[in-house]
A = this chain, B = another copy of it.
Amino acid sequence: MIKKRYLLTPGPTPIPPEVNLLMAEPILHHRSPQFQEILRKVLEGIKRVLKTKNDVLIFASSGTGAMEAVVANLVSPQEKVIVIRGGKFGERWAEICATYGAKVIPIDVPWGKAVEAEEVERSLDTTDSVKAVFATLCETSTGTVTDIRRLAETTRKKEVLLVVDAISGLCADNLETDNWGVDVVVAGSQKGLMLPPGLAFVSMSKKAWALSKHTSSSYYFDFKKYQHLLSKPDTPFTPPISLIIGLERALSLIEEEGLENVLSRHRYLANAVREGIKAMGLELFSTCPSNALTAVISPSGISSTELIRIMRDKFGIWIANGQGKMKGKIFRIAHLGYMDRFDVIVALSALEMSLREMGYKIELGKGVGTAERILGGENAQG
C-alpha cells in the first residue's frame, strides 16, 4: 500500500513546492550584489511578518540558537530574570538563562494552562531590578497560547524587557511586536514561515538595545557582529544561502495571501480541528489553545505513543507525541504553515481510523463531518 507522507508536526512543517524548487536552483555566492538584494528584501519582509520596524537579525541556527543568542547578549551573570514555565519551551528559556549565570525567577504554570498576567505583575512588583521577562507565544509542548499583549502592557511601563519566543506561534497566533511593545522576539524558519529548519530571527527594540549588555558572552551569536551590518545587508558569517533564497519566496507567498488572511486561515483550520476532535468525544489538553497546533488528551487506555506509531506506520500521517512528562499522554496535531483544509480532513480521518483500530469506540466520519461543516462554510471562500 502506497503511503504518502503527510507531515502534520509543529515543525518541521510542509514546504510549498515553489519554495522547494527555488531552493534547488544553482547556489549563489553570498558576497554579491545579487544576494544582498535578496537579503535586503528578506529583512524587509520578515519585519512585516513580525509587525515591527525594529532591527531584525538573522542567524544560521535553529530557534534555540537564537534563544541562546538573546540571553548571551542581554543577560549578565547574577541578573534576575522572570521566566514563565508552562511547558518544555518555557523550561528551555530557564535552562539557557541558568547556563549564562542569571538568577531565574520561575513562574510555573500548569501544563496546558496559560499564565495569568497578574502573577507576572506581582512577581515584578515584589522583585527588584528584574532584567527581563521570558515568555512563549505558543508553548508548543502543550499547544497553549500566551496573551503577550497583556504581558506587554505591564513590561512596557517598566525598565524591564519582554522577550518572546514566537518560534512556533508566528503566522498562526497574532503577534503585534510594535503595537503591543514587545522588546525581543525570536522566530525560526521551519514553522509558519514554511521553510526547512536552519534560519532563526531576533527582533530587537530600541529599549532592548539600550538595556543589552553591549558585550556578548558568545562569539558566533554576538549581536554587534550582526547589528553593524543592518545598514548594508550582509552577514558576518556564511549564511544558509538557499534557505534565504527560499525565504524570499515564502515571504512573497505570505504577502500574496495577506498576513491577516494567513492568521485567519490558521484560526479557521484550528477551529475545525478542535471541533472535529470534540465531536470524536476527545478532550483538548489546553484551556487556551494556540492556532498553530492542537494538543489532545489521549483517551483512557490509549497510549499516545502507540497512537502516533499507528498514524505514522499504518497511515503515513506524522503527528507529534507529548513531550517530557506528557509523552504517551497527549498527542499534538499541527495546522501550521503551508496547510489547507484537506490537511485537517486527512488528520482527523487518520485519527478516526487509528483510534478505532486501537479499540476506542468512535463513529467513523463524525469528527470529519463536524470539521466539514466549518471548512465547507461560506467563510471558507477566503
Answer yes or no: A131 CB below 8 A from chain B CBs.
Answer: no
Most buried by B among A314, A372, A373, A382: A372
Q: Does A38 contact B (CB under 8 A)?
A: no
Given the interface pairs A2-B340, A345-B345, the reply to whether A314 lies near B369 with Cβ below 8 Å is no
- Convert A272-315 into 0s and 1s, putting 1 for each residue whose CB lies closer than 8 angstroms to a CB of B: 00000000000000000000000000000000000000000011
Given A314-B381, A349-B345, A368-B349, are A340 and B376 neighbors across the interface (CB < 8 Å)?
Answer: no
Chain B residues near A316: list those with CB within 8 A.
340, 342
Q: Cβ of A352 < 8 Å from any Cβ of B?
A: yes
* 1/0 contact string of A337-350 vs chain B (CB within 8 Å): 01111100110011
The interface centre, meaning the residue of A1, A24, A353, A357 with most chain B CB atoms within 10 A of its CB, is A1
Q: Mark A360-373, 1 if CB is under 8 A from B, else 0.
A: 00011111111011
Residue of B nearest to A339 (CB): B2
A365-B370 CB under 8 A given contacts A1-B265, A380-B314: yes
Copies in the complex: 2
Chain B residue with minimal CB distance to A24? B24
CB distance B365 to A369 under 8 Å? yes
A370 to B366, CA, bound (A): 11
Chain B residues with CB below 8 A from A352, complex form: 369, 372, 376
Q: Does A375 contact B (CB under 8 A)?
A: yes
Which of B1, B354, B366 meets A369, CB within 8 Å? B366
Whether the pair B357, A350 counts as a contact (CB closer than 8 A) is: no
Let me know if A180 is at the binding interface, CB within 8 A.
no
CA distance A342 to B368 in the complex (A): 13
Give the A interface residue count (CB, 8 A).
43
- A315-B341, A340-B316, A345-B345 given; A369·B363 CB < 8 A: yes
Q: Are A376 and B357 in contact (CB under 8 A)?
A: yes
Known: A315-B341, A349-B345, A350-B342. A373 touches B364 (CB 8 A): yes
A158 within 8 A of B: no
Contact between A2 and B369 (Cβ–Cβ < 8 Å)? Answer: no
Known: A1-B261, A1-B382, A368-B368. A342 touches B6 (CB 8 A): yes
A375 interface neighbour in B265, B342, B353, Cβ under 8 Å? B353
Does A31 sit at the interface, judged by CB under 8 A?
no
Chain B residue with Cβ nearest A310: B376
Contact in complex: B1, A380 (CB < 8 Å): yes
Q: Does A157 contact B (CB under 8 A)?
A: no
Bound-state CA distance A350–B382 (Å) is: 16
Q: Taking the complex as formed, is A228 at the interface, i.e. its CB lies under 8 A from any CB of chain B?
A: no
- Give the residues in chain B near A365, CB-CB below 8 Å: 365-370, 372
> What are some 26 contacts across the A-B interface (CB < 8 A)?
A1-B268, A1-B340, A1-B341, A1-B380, A3-B340, A6-B342, A24-B24, A315-B342, A316-B342, A342-B349, A345-B345, A345-B349, A345-B368, A346-B346, A349-B368, A352-B372, A353-B375, A356-B372, A356-B376, A357-B376, A364-B372, A364-B376, A365-B367, A366-B369, A368-B369, A369-B369
Interfacial residues, chain A to chain B (CB-CB below 8 A): 1-4, 6, 24, 257, 261, 265, 268, 314-317, 338-342, 345-346, 349-350, 352-354, 356-357, 363-370, 372-373, 375-376, 380-382
